[in-house]
Amino acid sequence: MSRAERRLPVLITLLVGLMLSIMPLPDSAEPFRPDWLALLLIFWAMQLPRSWSVGTAWIVGVVLDVSYGTLLGQHAVALCVIVFITVRFHLLMRVFPLSQLTLTVFALLALYQFILFWINGVAGVTAPSITYWAPVITGTLLWPFFHMFLSGIRFRPSSGA
C-alpha cells in the first residue's frame, strides 16, 4: 500500500471533521457542537504520532481560524498544545482503558477550550461561558463512540497475500 493510500483515511476524516465544524446549526444547538477537529487530532496523534503531529495540528488550526473568522493562530496554538501533549504521552494513553482515556480526553478538551478562552480574554473578545465549556462535555460524551468508530477504520497492514 502506497504512502498516499495510507494517508487517505486520515485526510478524509479531517475533511469531514472540518465540514462538521463549520456546518451551520440552529442557534440553540450551536454552543453544544463538539470540537470535531480536536477529537480527530487527538485520536490520530495518539495512533500515528510520527505521521500526524504538531505540524498537522498547526495547519488544521489555521484552516479552522480562517473558516471561523477568528484571530489567526488562535485555534492553531490551542490544537498544537493538545497534540503535543498527546504525542508526548501517546504510548501511555494507548494502553489506558476506555474510561481512563475518556477522562484524559476530557482534560485535553478542557485545556483546548481554556487556551481559546485565555487568548480571547487577552484580545478582548467576549463570549458566554457555555460556548467554551459545552463542547468539552459533548466531546467527552462522544469520545468512546468516536474512538471505537475510528479504531475500526484505522489503517491496518494486511498480513495475507
Phi, psi of 88 (to 5 degrees): -60, -40
Distance CA 44, CA 59 (A): 14
Range of the domain at 124: 3-22+32-153
Task: Tell me the H-state helices in 27-97.
Answer: 36-47, 54-68, 74-88, 90-94
Task: Count structural domains, the chain.
Answer: 1
Distance CA 10, CA 51 (A): 10
124-137 pLDDT, tens digit each: 998 888 989 999 99
Determine, yes or no, domain membership for 159: no
Determine, yes or no, domain membership for 46: yes
47-103 pLDDT, tens digit each: 999 988 899 999 999 999 999 999 999 999 999 999 999 999 999 999 999 999 999
- The pTM score is 0.91
